[in-house]
Structures are given as structure tokens and as C-alpha cells.
Amino acid sequence: MNKIGGAVAGFFRGIGNFFGEFFAAVAKGDWAVKLSLLVWGAGYAKRRQYVKATIMTALEVGLILFSVCFASQYVPKFGTLGTVQMAQEFNIETMQMEFNDYDHSFLILLFSLFSFVVWAVGLVVWMRNTVACYRLQQAAEAGKHINTFKEDCREYLGDKFHITLLTLPIIGIVIFTVIPILLLIFVAFTNYDQQHMPPSALFTWVGFENFKSLFSSGGMTVTFGYAFVRVLGWTLVWAFFATFTTYFGGILMSLLLNSKKTRAPRLWRTLLVITIAVPQFVSLLLVRNFFSNGGIVNTLCARIGLTGWLRSIGLISTSYIPFLTAPGWAHVMIILINIWIGVPYQMLIATGILMNLPSDQLESARVDGANKFQTFRYITMPYMLQVTAPTLVTDFVKNINNFNVIYLLTDGVYTTTNQLMANSQAKEVDLLVTWLFNLTQNYYNYKMAAVIGIVVFIVCAVFTLVAFNFLIRGDKEGVYQ
Amino acid sequence: MKDKRLGSIVSHNVLIAVLCIIWLIPIVWLVCMSFSAASNMNTSTFFPQEWSTKYYVQLFHSDTVNQFKAWFMNTFKIAVFTCIICTCFTLMVAYATSFGKFKARKPLMNVAVMLNLFPGVLTMIAVYFTLRTFGLTNSHIGLILVYSASSGLGYLICKGFFDTVPRALCEAARLDGCNEARIFAQIVIPTSRPIIVYTIISSFLTPWMDFVFAKMILNAGISENYTVAVGLYKMLDKSLINSYFTVFCCGGILVSIPIAVLFFIMQKFYVEGITAGAVKG
């Protein structure tokens, strides 16, 4: 836990330093620094950095224009998310039906959020700018050289090169990851669903209502709690089995292939890798038809009498084996099919790691008379675990969100017979992510999808933090530098 | 004694062969079905009753459902742009986090770890709203942005590799008056060929392999704008599967061949990259 504590402490210390510098600059700065609180370019102008002064002042004007012309339309309505419902009115001048000047809840939410982010960035720039002006003053007072604009620019290819490199990727991440995540968190506290779809209807804040309906199972109509527990349970069971079956399967497979007894190991490896070189939407859709109720596997099973035998012992009641259409069967099949698709991947990784296994250890174990199983148990496995523990953790998280396998195998094929599940638009084989996907794509239930999204994140985050702090110790970055 | 050893070698190899056969059954079935003379799925025998290549010909004659040529070109176009943007972003972030010595480096990396915990599908919904607001759904630009805009977050494997580039080389260059930009362009990039090949191929493959994002963004659009994944998925719709199953198999094979070739090239780098990243945490 020290690592987290250290990180948190470091984080707050960083923020503290940041504000400290700013207030020191304001207190000790001369009139130009103080003026630059109002006119961003003032500090630079005094030191004859006119280009920089112009750019900063232009930025400031841009921010003000943005606030006045754009943000002011949306942010004041953020508290209610709009009050004017869309309606048609008869316009006496044009003699036509026209829409009134209605509020669009979603745009209000999105653009308010966008404004908040812009303002937050603006605030940081403003404070940094003041500090920079103060540093300039200090440099000038100490009689140091003041950079010309050209020299400043050259710094962005030299000491400040990281800023040049990181700007674009970070803008991309902010717009396409950070803002969407914030938006999602906000939507979880609204009643944005099919009955409240902008632009024809408004949605508004409802507090923790959605969380309550997810975690409570009472009531005849509210069944989200019922479905949620089952879907979450299956998600965890799936992630556990999917991770460990493919992990150990991959290690065993790679030991098998890399054994001295194997003839033509490259050929076998290539054959296995073909299965993962085919894109999943082809291979999984194919396998789904392979195992369909009237599919080829069912025909063969019926021919060799397996179907009849299963029926006679009461495992199935239909004239076919419901590989992907009945609960239980589908769960097992999904895990088996995932082994088919996942083991070659893990085999590749395990092969790469086993190649680096220190051979002197194996040799000394052999001299000491260890048998194969003991070598595997006490030398190979600990080494593998040590090297792959981080990937094991990320694999588990990836499997919690393994959309492809579940969706491609069951969408349109599996229909639930459990009415309580169906009421919440869930299926027994759904993971949290596929449930969420269906809720948004087919039922427009964005509020519940957002809540489920937050739950998925919490599950992943807690698991990762715990796993990383207890399984993996130490930061090895420095060792290699 | 010798017989016993021979027997063990034979049984060992037979076991591997059996496993390989199990693993390859669906792929063999895919190839066989694509040469079937019937348009629907063959459910009575493993091999098709009659063989023919006519559905490969049909695949290239577009009709209302099947626009394979257009899909292929769309995916190719999207893949090229995604590849360029992703590779640049990944290398830039990896260099800055590996070689940079700025205060915000560690905090930024921690934020990246947190952001990576949010599954892509999840943020996708919000991205979808946003793109719809700007009218970018059902367009390729929207899809390219979705694939590439956040690619900076996938810098870890590349950073793992950069961490192993000898620092002495860069120090020497710095003493000779090289600035950071030149070190990046003329020293680090040329010595990192394997990881760059890996990044290029893997980002080029993303649009070919992906299904979720393509479906979400292009779902409501017209068939001509689909990518291969969405197009082929729609062929297996309940109402279409009987007339298009074999065409689906042909399309599946044709799209798999280039992907498989690239995948085999990448495979070596994939293992190196993953294990290097794993060791370095």
C-alpha cells in the first residue's frame, strides 16, 4: 500500500507546489507580473518579448470570446439541463408551423462539460503564465540573457521537446477518452432514456435514482438488481476461467511444442497461429454456425447417437444439443471456444518467455534428480508467474471487457427464457459490457448503461490496484536504464 | 530402452498432431465451405456435396447485400489513415515518457494507467453521442478518429523498447550539440526498427480485426460505406444466411489472407514486445 500512499502524497505535493509558486509569483512580482493577471501578455511585453505577448493576449481574448459567445448559451442551463420542451407553434408572419426555441438537454450537458474542461485548462495556463512572467522578471533582475522568440521556439525542439511531442496525443486523449468518461459519469445521474430523448423531450438530474434501481431488487417492474447480480456473477466467473484456462493452456502447449521430442516445432506452431491470424469476426461467426442448433456438429452428434444418449440421461429435452442456446450449455461452450481462440496467443507469449528461462537452473535441477513435474512446479512456473504477473492482471481486466467473444457468439442466437432477465434486457450469457452495449444500441437506456459502465470501471480499478500492490512489487523501470 | 524412447517420441508427436487438428477443424471447414456449390450452410456432411468456385465470382459482383469490393477499399483506406496517426502518436508519447525528464512524467503515466482501465466499449457510447452531435457517425472520418485519437494511451510496449536503447548514445549526441528532436529522429528511430514495424503493423490491423466500433459507428449507414467486418456480419442475418453463407465464407477467406500474412510478420515482434513490456512492468 506504500506505493499508492506515496503516489497520492506526491500528487498533492505537486498540486501544493503548483499553487505555492503561483502565489509567490503574485506576491513578489512587479507591476508587470501583476498586470499579467489581467492582460496575459503584459509580463512579456515589459521584457520586450512582443511576439509571445501577442500570442498570450490573443489566447486570452479567444478564451473570453469562447466564454461569452459559446459557453454562455449552455453553462447557465447546466443546473436544470433545459426547461423549454420542443413544441410546434404557428408563426403568424410566415403562416407556417415552426419549432420554438427549445432546449436540447444533451447538447447542454456536452457543451457545458466541454466548457468546464476548456476553463480548467485556461486556469492552468493563466497560473503558469503568471509564474513564467515572474521567472522572466527574476532572470532580468539577475542580469541573465532574455530569450528572443526564435530561441524560445528552438527550446521546443530541445529541452521542452516533450511538450511538442505530447500536445497532440494528449488533446486526442482528452477529447476522445477523458470527456466521454466524464460525460458518461454525468449521464449516470440523469434520466436519459427512451422516454427522455432529446431533442423531442428533456432529461434532467435524478441524483442516485439509477444506482438505487441497479442495486435494489424489490418491486415487480424494477428487475435491474436481479439481472445485475447474475450478470456480474457470470462476468467474474467468465473472466476467471477465460484468463486461467488460456494461461495454463498456453504454457502447457508451449512446453509441449518446445520439448526436445517434438519434430518440426515451427510447423506445428504455425498451424496453431493460423487460428488467431483469422479475424475474430470471421472465426467466431463461423464457429457459432458450426455449433448452431441445426448445424453440422449437431448432425454428427445425432448420427453417432450422442444426442439420443444425452436425452436418455435427461441432460437435454430437445431434439438437438443446444450448444449456444441454453443456459449452462452456452456458458460452457463459450469458455471452451475461448480456449480455442486464446491458447495460441498465450502459447506465443509463453514461448517467448520460456526461451529466456535460465538454463543453468534447469540443468542443476536435473542433476539434483528432479523429475519433470517437479521442474515444472518449482522452476518453470515460478519464473513464468514472476515475469507474466502484470499481463495476467491486464488479461483478467481485458476478459471482464471481452466484448467480441460473447457478442459474436451469442447475439441474435441466444434468447433468454427468464422473464425477469428479459425485463432488464439482459441475457444469462451477457457480460456487463455486452449488456451495456445492448441497452444503448437497442433500447436507448443510456442512464442504466452509464451506471453499469461506472460499475465495470470500479470492478476493474479495484481489482487492478489490489493485484498490482500485492502481486507485483517494486518499480523495475530504472533497472534497465 | 530404445524402443521405449521411440514410442514416447511418437506418442508425443501424435498428441501434438491431434491438438493441431482440433484447432484447425473450423478453419478447414471455412475453406471447404467457401468452395461449396450451395449458397446455404451445409448441415448434413462436413465436406460440401458439390465443389465449385462460383461464389468467389459472386463475391466480386456487387449486389444489394454484398459490396465486398467497396468494403475492402473502405477498410483499407481507414486502416492506412489509422496506421499513420497511431504510429506517430504512439512513438511520440513513448519517446517523451521514456527519454523525457520532466516533473509531470510519472503523474501522467499514472493517469494513463487509470484511463486504460475504462474499457473502450464503455467510452465508445459517449464518443458515439459526441460524434453524432457533430454529424460524424456513419462516416469514415468518425471511425478513423475513434481508432486513432486515443492511441497515445497504448504507448507502453513501445516505451518498454525505448527504455532499452543505450543512454550513452544519446548523451554522446547531446555533447555533440544535437537537440532532442534530432536525437529522436536520427538516433532513437533508426535503432528501434523492430518496435516500429510492430507498431505499424498492429495499428494497420486494428480496423481489419475490429468489429464493435465499426458496427456502432457505421450501423445505420448504407451498405456501401461498411467495413469488411460489418458487411460480413450483416450477411449472416437470419433472413440472409441461407443465400449468403457461402459468400460469407469466401469473403472471410479473402480478408483473412492478407491479415494472416501481416500477422505472421508481426508475430515475432509481438512476442518480443509483450515480453519486454512484461519484464519492465
Residues B111-169 pLDDT 10s = 888 788 777 777 777 888 788 888 888 889 999 999 998 888 888 888 888 887 888 88
> Would A429 be classed as within a structural domain?
yes
Cell numbers describing residue B264: 505472421
Cα A434 to Cα A404: distance, rounded to the nearest angstrom: 9
The average confidence (pLDDT) of chain B is 85
Position A67 scores a pLDDT of 93
Q: Do A255 and A301 fall within a single domain? A: yes
CB contact under 8 A, B126 and A170: no
Mean pLDDT for B58-66 is 85
A220 pLDDT higher than 50? no
pLDDT tens-digit profile of A81-111?
888 888 777 777 777 777 878 888 888 999 9
pLDDT at B279: 43
Asked if A182 and A289 sit in the same domain, the reply is: no
Q: Is the pLDDT of residue B195 over 80?
A: yes
The answer on A171 and A92 residing in a single domain is yes
Q: Is residue A284 part of a domain?
A: yes
Query: Do A250 and A350 meet the contact criterion of CB atoms below 8 Å apart?
Result: yes
Distance CA B90, CA B106 (A): 17
The answer to whether residue A212 is domain-embedded is no
Tell whether the model's pLDDT for residue A72 goes beyond 50. yes
Asked if residue A418 is part of any domain, the answer here is yes
Share of chain A above pLDDT 70, in %: 95
Confidence at residue B156, expressed as pLDDT on a 0 to 100 scale = 82
Task: Please name the residue of chain A whose CA is at the shortest distance from the CA of residue B102.
Answer: A162
The DSSP 8-state label assigned to residue A323 in this structure reads: T
Average per-residue pLDDT in chain A? 84
pTM for the whole structure: 0.84
Q: HSE (CB half, 13 Å, CA atoms) of A212?
A: 9
- pLDDT band (50, 70, 90) for residue A218: low
More confident residue, A435 or A464: A435
pLDDT the model gives residue B76: 94
CATH classification at residue A382: 1.10.3720.10
pLDDT of residue B280: 41
Amino acid at residue number A304: I
pLDDT tens digits for A331-388?
A: 999 999 999 999 998 888 888 788 777 778 778 888 888 888 888 888 888 888 877 7
pLDDT at residue A95 in the model: 77
C-alpha cell at A177: 477518452
Please, which residues 57-86 of chain B have a Cβ atom closer than 8 Å to chain A?
A: none
- Select the more confidently predicted residue: A376 or B268: A376
Task: Please answer yes or no on whether A177 and B150 come within 8 Å at the CB atom.
Answer: yes
Is any Cβ of chain A less than 8 angstroms from the Cβ of B31?
Answer: no
Joined together, the cell numbers standing for residue B176 give 555533440
Instruction: Check residue A221 and give its pLDDT.
Output: 52
Looking at beta carbons, which residues of chain B come within 8 Å of A280?
Answer: 209, 211
Count CB-CB contacts under 10 A for residue A241: 18
Do A203 and A234 fall within a single domain?
Answer: no
Is residue A169 situated within a structural domain?
yes
CB contact under 8 A, B181 and A280: no
Tally of residues, chain A: 481
Q: How many Å lie between the alpha carbon of B218 and the closest alpha carbon of chain A?
A: 12
pLDDT in tens, B14-25: 999 999 999 999
Q: Is there a single domain that holds both residue A36 and residue A161? A: yes
Give residue limits of the domains in chain B: 2-56, 57-280
Closest CA to A258 of A140, A362, A123: A362
- CATH number for domain B57-280, candidates 1.10.260.30, 1.10.760.10, 3.30.70.380, 1.10.3720.10: 1.10.3720.10
A481 lies in a domain? no
Q: Say if A438 falls within a structural domain.
A: yes
Residue A480 in any domain: the answer is no
Same-domain pairing of A156 and A232: no
Nearest CB partner across the interface for B252, out of A268, A282, A472:
A282
State pLDDT tens for residues B169-182.
888 888 888 888 88
- Domain identity same for A269 and A174: no
Same domain, A426 and A277: yes
Residue among A184, A279, A289 whose CB faces B122 most closely: A184
Q: Take residue A160 and report the three cell numbers written for it.
A: 521542452
Q: Choose the closest CB to A277 out of B43, B104, B259.
A: B259
Residues A203 and A293 in one domain: no
Nearest-CA distance from B53 to chain A in Å?
Answer: 19
Task: Give me the percent of chain B exceeding a pLDDT of 90.
Answer: 24
Torsion angles phi and psi, residue B51, rounded to 5: -105, 145
Q: Is the pLDDT of residue B90 over 90?
A: yes
Q: Are residues A170 and A266 in the same domain?
A: no
- pLDDT at residue A217, rounded to an integer: 60
Share of chain A above pLDDT 90, in %: 16
Omega before A199 within 30 of 0, i.e. cis = yes
Which of residues A185, A207, A229 is at a domain's end?
A207
Q: Which three cell numbers stand for residue A476?
A: 523495475
Residues from chain A that touch B256, judged by Cβ atoms under 8 A, are: 277-279, 282
Say whether pLDDT at A222 is over 60.
Answer: no
Residues A242 and A100 in one domain: no
Higher pLDDT, B240 or A246: A246
Domain that holds residue A294: 218-475
How long, in residues, is chain B?
281
Kindly state whether residues A92 and A123 are assigned to the same domain: yes
State whether residue A271 sits within 8 Å of chain B by CB. yes
The total of structural domains in chain A comes to: 2
- Kindly report which listed range (A213-227, A366-380, A447-461) carries the lowest average pLDDT score: A213-227
What are the beta bridge partners of residue A99? Answer: A88
Partner-chain contact A275 B27, CB within 8 Å:
yes
Last residue of a domain, one of A154, A179, A207: A207
* Of B207 and A10, the one with more pLDDT: B207
Higher per-residue pLDDT: A374 or A223 = A374
What value does the mean pLDDT take over residues B247-260? 91
Residue B67 CA to residue B225 CA, distance in Å, equals 9
pLDDT at position B101: 83
Query: B51-57: which pairs have CB atoms within 8 A and are 24 or more residues apart?
Result: B55/B246, B55/B247, B55/B249, B55/B250, B56/B250, B56/B254
Question: Judging by beta carbons within 10 Å of its beta carbon (0-12, 13-18, 19+), is residue A441 exposed, middle or buried?
Answer: middle
pLDDT tier for residue A266 given thresholds of 50, 70 and 90: confident
Cell of B223: 451498405
